[in-house]
Chain A
Amino acid sequence: MNVFFKQNIMKNKNLLKSWGILLFIMLFFQQSIMAAGYQVLLQGNRVTAMGNLGVGLRPDASSMFFNPGAMPFMEGNQIMLGINLVNSNIAFWDSQTPSSTNTALTESPIGTPFHVYAVWGPKDSRWKFALGAYTPFGSTITWGKEWQGRYLLDQIRLTAIYTQATASFKLTDKLSIGAGFVAMFGSVELQRVLPVTSDLESTLINLNGNSKTGFGYNVGLYWEISEKWQLGASYRSKIDAELEDGDVTFENVPSSLAGLFQPNKFSASLPLPSQISLGINFTPNDRLTVGVEANYIGWSAYESLDFNFADQNIAIQNIKSPRNYHDTYVFHLGGEYRIKNFQLRAGTYYDLSPVDKGYMTPETPDTNRFALSAGLGYSLGEKLQLDLSFLYNVGQKRTQTVEEAQAAGTYPSATNSTYAVEPGTYKLKAYIPGLSITYKF
């Protein structure tokens, strides 16, 4: 990948310079939640502009993510660099306490999921190979130290970076398949306030750790049924992010409790679920394409989030936090219309929440999401493609009652002392512009 980069950067110095710096700076920021659970659906700004419709599209470099089987149908070679700026926040109202007017709003920093793809195939070959990196899962939420759920969560940063190597092969003039191998690097930073009264500021517990490298794969199939109809199908495997030897540290511990709150180690495990996708596109002419897509996400793999501490005492006990997510669907509709060397795009999707009643935790107080997107593509000559997108994603207002949480065992009751959720009403909103730049060669 280095070889390609050097040559091409030299050729398009001016343009890439201004954007490149911005992108690289933002690469070091964290991601933000914008899909159901902690899934991030921002892996290509052409696709994003079309309501995240990707599996059945005539491919570009981002197909190495959306449908590795489609790459042989891409003409030439491409390198794509892209980023999204996720401005996503959650509103909370303590609706379960009678007459309460208590509200809270996250002050989450802007997240920066990114994607980098390089796709290359020998001239006139049926083969295409690709290397890439992207972030399909992540979450940055900052509730702060004032909201009533602060003893559950003050802030969290969850990141999962996937690196992928893919090969795909054109079986016939109409059909191609591909497969990719994935290595995942994950990390989590979590902070909660401890219910301690002292002369100091809020006593805090920090959990920080990196996961072991996780491995997975994806496969895809792309079928140009006719001139006007395309079909795509893909599967991405689940990867477990396993964290061992994470660091536990404390801040603002009064001296009388110093013996109980000593630096510690923790372990935890989080599933990054599998996904099956199926999409059909209709392309009546060389200007217009419209399509529909359905995804099935294997969220039932997420049963519980447990934090196990190396040393336990009366104040520090292993945390068992049930989740019991269920498998869900996402449905997409989108289209693209070409005028000269511009492409106008629009789309929508509906993302069903995997979270059951009583399991809406502060880091994923999930609700069904509805999204609208629009975007613009611009082909600059034969070498350069710019894709701009804007995604508006809103989570329907959803209320979690004390009874639902107690039945789920996530809120204290006469028979259970687990405290894992904050009952109340939640609403999510995200505004996400994005830009991808593709260099074709």
Chain B
Amino acid sequence: MKWITNLSLAILLFGFIIGCKPEIEVPAPKAGGADFSEYIALGNSLSAGFSDGGLYLEVQQQSFPALIANQIMKINAGLQFNQPEMPQGNGSGYLKLRTLDLVNQIFDFTILPPDANWTNKIPGTYQNLGIPGIRVRDITVNGYGANPTQGNPYFYRILGEQEANKSYLDVLSESNATIYTSWLGSNDVLGYATSGGKDGISGLPGTGINGLTPVNEFEASYDALINAMNGKGASGFLITVPDVTNIPFFKSIAWNALALNSEQAAAATAGYQALIDPQIEAGVAEATIRLVATDTVLSVAVIPDLADTTVFLQAYQQAIAGGADEATALQMAQAFVESPEGIATIEALEAQLNVELPAHLLGEPTSPELDPLFAIIDQELATNVALQQAIAQTNDQITQAYEAGLLPELEAVVAQQTATQIDAFKAAGIYPTFEAGNNGFVIEVPVSQTNPLGIRQMVEGELILFTAALGDELLPENAAMPKPDEIILTLDEIDNIREYTDQYNEIIEGYAGNSIGILDSDNILETINEGTFIDGVEITGAYVQGGVFSLDAIHLTPRGNAIVANSLIHAINQKFGSTIPPVKVSDYRAVILP
């Protein structure tokens, strides 16, 4: 009997012991036609892992080059991939969400302060050469990392004590890359873009900071990089410069997000009227008075003599043409001028000049035969000091009388001109008007002939920078006030960015070949902005909630890095026939919710 118990026990145990698990055979990753001995990442903050406004250890470890390197290690287990790691802690300091109101989209940040020692030198051989802030035009600059405060501190810290004069090109030339990725060029437009283009295309004199890198400089620098890498026989993937206006930093606040109810709209309209109309009126009055003063003085001081002299000259030339000699011609001319016919001609000319003078002073067309006469008048106005003084005096007198209310006719003319001017400004989009609902924000623009007010409303397609949300500009009490240029990208500025970006990308795409592949970053950005579903999670380009963009609204979260890493892995696999396994995007975090 006992043996039954034993046998039964044995069968049960047997069942447990051979309780092995099901298995699926998975093909092993292969290198294909690629040489994965040494992978180098060339780039800027995006390659370094910069996130939430800073570079710190946790995000460095999840930079897209580090993610790619980890996957390459499944093919080449001995791959070394060193990154210039920040000390454990806050690194260069970064943003963190303190509280969050998802329903009302209210974000409250805290700024974690940088580590005291983060710029300490940590010279070494690094495979991740992503340097935050570097532009293509900086690649060949010797001494780019000479000083932590005047140069680029991220470059400074990876150079040895004796290497102050090295350029980025020098450093990458020392690498032993067999395969590399290069994502450079964003900073050549981002400086201009994130400063609202306030320093113009050339940026600040000397460094060109906040400017757009000249295309020939971009080309020369990138050529040098490609030549250096080709010289090593390395294969590479170049990522194009994305359309930077397509990221949350520029898309989070709409151009017409000025939402007003009918009372607020009326108040804003009235506010601007009170501000602008007097200015317009003053301008119109001043111009009108100047016109009147000039006209008055000229018609008394210059025109009679001019008409006189002109008719005399005409008669003189006629006489000469008729064969008379100089003396006779002069006599004939004099006689003519004193004759009734001559006097009539002079008076007619005077009248014509007087009639057309205001038009000429306003820059409008006049009868062509008067052109030489007006040229003389202009000459007089420009050079005759006594005349200028007389006009100035008359101007002052008229102004005094006008301001004392003694010139009702002039006032009427000014009022009518002011109304016309206001309509013209409104039609040109310069005069702010508000309705209940969404309204374009008002922005400051340079004062010019066509826009003496120095303000206008935004139009569709223009962008407001994320920095506006961090200051007071968008608070309800300030929202309708004119916004400074540095937080706005106008249509012209956006065109500049796109034009330069396109030219940079033409250069980059020109390097394509058997050993160099090109990855279009705009494709990735568009897919993200349209919204997609990857590895079990939804991905969009929305700030914070989309999962891709970090708190600084420009750089990526580790999840965003995973998406970039997979795009590159997929591209490398396709071009070189390798089977590097991709990462799981959902294994990498989005913005940490408090």
Chain A residues within 8 Å of B, Cβ to Cβ = 18, 85, 87, 89-93, 97-103, 105, 148-152, 195-199, 254-257, 260, 314, 376, 378, 380, 386, 388, 390, 394-395, 397, 412, 417, 419, 422, 425, 427-429, 431-433, 435
Interface residues on B, range: 35 or more
Inside 8 A of A99's CB, which chain B residues have their CB? 29, 569, 573, 579-582
Contact of B594 among A18, A87, A90, A255 (CB under 8 A): A255
A-B contact pairs, 17 of them (CB 8 A): A85-B16, A91-B23, A91-B24, A102-B581, A148-B535, A197-B590, A198-B592, A199-B592, A256-B102, A376-B11, A380-B1, A380-B4, A397-B24, A425-B24, A427-B24, A429-B21, A433-B11
With A102-B581, A148-B536 given, name 18 new contacts (CB 8 A).
A89-B22, A91-B21, A98-B579, A101-B26, A101-B581, A152-B536, A197-B589, A199-B592, A255-B594, A376-B11, A380-B1, A388-B11, A390-B14, A428-B22, A431-B18, A431-B20, A433-B16, A435-B12
A189 to chain B, nearest CB (A): 22
Known A98-B582, A198-B592, A255-B594; judge A431-B15 contact (CB<8 A): yes
**B556-594 interface bits toward A, Cβ cutoff 8 Å, 1 = contact, 0 = none:** 000000000000011001000001111010100111111
Check if A256 sits within 8 Å of B537, measured CB to CB: no
Indicate whether B416 reaches chain A with its CB closer than 8 angstroms.
no
Nearest to A259 among chain B residues (CB) is B103
> For the complex, would chain B's binding face be called helix, strand, loop or mixed by DSSP majority?
loop
Question: Is there contact, CB below 8 Å, between A257 and B533?
Answer: no
Which of B15, B29, B547, B594 is the one whose CB lies under 8 Å from A101?
B29
Contact B4 A386 (CB under 8 A): yes
Q: Which residue of A lies closest to B530 (CB)?
A: A414
Our pick among A91, A195, A198, A435 for the contact of B586 (Cβ within 8 Å) is: A195
B22 touches A254 (CB 8 A): no
* A433 touching B586, Cβ below 8 Å: no
Per the bound structure, the CA–CA distance linking A91 and B102 in Å amounts to 38
CB distance from A133 to the nearest CB of B (A): 22
Interface pair B593/A254, CB less than 8 Å apart? yes
Asked whether, in the complex, the Cβ of A87 is within 8 Å of the Cβ of B537, the reply is: no
Name, among A99, A101, A395, A429, the residue most crowded by chain B CB atoms within 10 Å (CB to CB). A99
Would A151 and B593 count as touching, CB distance under 8 A?
no
- Contact assessment for B593 and A386 in the assembled complex, using a CB-CB cutoff below 8 Å: no
CB distance from B282 to the nearest CB of A (A): 53
Contact of A98 among B74, B102, B570, B592 (CB under 8 A): B570
Report A-chain residues with C-beta under 8 Å of the C-beta of B592. 197-199
Which residues in A have their C-beta under 8 angstroms from that of B15?
85, 87, 390, 431-433
Report the bound CA distance from A419 to B573 in whole Å: 28
Q: A101-B74, A390-B11 are in contact. Are A254 and B26 (CB under 8 A)?
A: no
Q: B536: which of A91, A422, A432 is its contact (CB, 8 Å)?
A: A422
Quote the shortest CB–CB distance from A369 to chain B (angstroms).
12
For A376, the chain B residues whose CB sits under 8 A away are: 7, 11
Q: B99 on the interface (CB 8 Å rule)?
A: yes
CA distance A433 to B7 in the complex (A): 13
What is the minimal beta-carbon distance from B543 to any residue of chain A, in angstroms?
Answer: 14
Asked whether, in the complex, the Cβ of A87 is within 8 Å of the Cβ of B102, the reply is no
Complex-state Cα separation, A317 to B14, whole angstroms = 47
A376–B21 CA distance with the chains assembled, in angstroms: 25
Chain A residues near B335 (CB, 8 Å)? none
Residues 1-52 of B at the A interface (beta carbon under 8 Å) = 1, 4-5, 7-8, 11-12, 14-16, 18-24, 26-29
A103 with B24: CB separation less than 8 A:
yes
CA distance A400 to B100 in the complex (A): 39
Closest to A394 in B: B22
Q: Please give the distance in Å from B560's CB to the nearest CB on chain A.
A: 12
Nearest chain A CB to B104's CB is how many angstroms away? 12
Query: For the complex, what is the distance from the CA of A390 to the CA of B18, rounded to whole Å?
Result: 12
> How many angstroms from the CA of A413 to the CA of B581 in the assembled complex?
24
Cβ–Cβ < 8 Å partners of B97 in chain A: 256
Q: Which residues of B contact A85 (CB under 8 A)?
A: 12, 15-16
CA distance in complex: A394, B24 (Å)? 13
The 5 A-B pairs with the shortest beta carbon distances in the complex, nearest first, are A433-B15, A429-B22, A412-B533, A256-B100, A87-B19
Q: Which residue of A lies closest to B558 (CB)?
A: A197
Residue A102 contacts which of B21, B23, B102, B584 (CB distance < 8 angstroms)? Answer: B584
Chain A residues with CB under 8 Å of B581's CB are: 99-102
Q: Which residues of A contact B535 (CB under 8 A)?
A: 148
Provide the residues of chain B in CB contact with A431, threshold 8 Å.
15, 18-20
Given contacts A87-B16, A388-B8, contact A105 B21 (CB under 8 A): yes
**B536 and A419 contact, CB distance less than 8 A:** yes
- List chain A residues, Cβ under 8 A from B99: 256
Which residues from chain A contact B20 at a C-beta distance below 8 Å? 429, 431
Give A283 Cβ to nearest chain B Cβ, in Å.
26
In Å, the complex CA distance between A3 and B592 comes to: 63
Chain B residues whose CB sits within 8 angstroms of the CB of A100 once the complex forms: 581-582
Q: Are A149 and B12 in contact (CB under 8 A)?
A: no
Contact with A along B511-550 (1 / 0, CB 8 A): 0000000000000000000000101111000000001000
Nearest CB of chain B from residue A361's CB, rounded to whole Å: 14
Q: Which of B23, B100, B536, B570 has the most CB of A within 10 A?
A: B536
Partner of B24, one of A93, A195, A419: A93
Flag if B593 contacts A196 (CB, 8 Å).
yes
Q: What sequence of 0s and 1s flags, for each residue 106-136 of chain B, a beta carbon within 8 Å of any chain A beta carbon?
A: 0000000000000000000000000000000
Q: Is the CB of B102 within 8 A of A419?
A: no
Determine which residue in B22, B23, B581 has the highest number of CB atoms from chain A within 10 A of its CB, and name it.
Answer: B22
Least CB distance, B451 to chain A, in whole angstroms = 45
Tell me the complex Cα distance, A412–B260, Å.
38
Give every chain A residue within 8 A of B103 (Cβ-Cβ): 314
The answer to whether B591 and A197 touch across the interface, beta carbons within 8 angstroms, is yes
A89: min CB distance to chain B, Å: 5
In the assembled complex, the CB of A346 is this many whole angstroms from the nearest CB of chain B, namely: 14
Cβ–Cβ < 8 Å partners of A97 in chain B: 582
Across the interface, do A93 and B22 meet the contact criterion of CB distance under 8 Å?
Answer: no
Contact B24 A90 (CB under 8 A): no
* Across-interface contacts of A314 in B (CB, < 8 A): 102-103
B227-244 toward A: CB 8 Å interface, digit per residue (1/0)? 000000000000000000
| Cα separation A98 to B97 with both chains bound (whole Å) | 36
Instruction: Please tell me if the beta carbons of B594 and A195 are within 8 angstroms of each other in the complex.
Output: no
Measured between beta carbons, the chain B residues less than 8 angstroms from A151 are 536-537, 586
| Contact present for A257 and B593 (CB under 8 Å) | yes
Contacts of B591 in A (CB 8 A): 197
Q: Which A residues are CB-close (under 8 A) to B16?
A: 85, 87, 433
**A386 vs B6: C-alpha distance when bound (angstroms):** 13
Chain A residues within an 8 Å CB radius of B14 = 390, 433
* Closest residue of B by beta carbon distance from A99: B579
Complex alpha-carbon distance, A417 and B531, angstroms? 11
A198 contact from B22, B101, B593, Cβ within 8 A: B593
Q: Which of A93, A148, A380 contacts B584 (CB 8 A)?
A: A148
- CB of A383, distance to nearest CB on chain B (Å): 13
Min CB–CB distance B69 → chain A (angstroms)? 16
In the complex the two chains form, is B21's CB within 8 Å of A89's CB?
A: yes
Closest-by-CB residue of A relative to B570 is: A98
Residues in chain A near residue B26, CB distance under 8 A: 93, 101, 103
Task: For A91, give the chain B residue with the smallest CB separation.
Answer: B22
A257 to B594, CA, bound (A): 8
The residue in chain A whose Cβ has the minimal distance to the Cβ of B5 is A18
A255: chain B residues within 8 A (beta carbon):
594
Asked whether A378 lies within 8 Å of B582 as measured between CB atoms, the reply is no
B537 nearest in chain A by CB position: A195
A386: which B residues are within 8 A, CB to CB?
4, 8
Of all chain A residues, the one with the shortest Cβ separation from B584 is: A148
Min C-beta distance of A398 to chain B, whole Å: 11
Query: Distance in Å from the Cβ of A426 to the closest Cβ of chain B?
Result: 8
For residue B27, which residues in chain A have a CB less than 8 angstroms away from its CB? 101
Cα A59 to Cα B573 in complex, Å, equals 63
Q: How far is the CA of A309 from the CA of B127 in the complex (A)?
A: 51
Compute how far the CA of A378 lies from the CA of B536 in the bound complex, rounded to whole angstroms: 52
CA distance A99 to B74 in the complex (A): 12
Contacts of B11 in A (CB 8 A): 376, 388, 390, 433
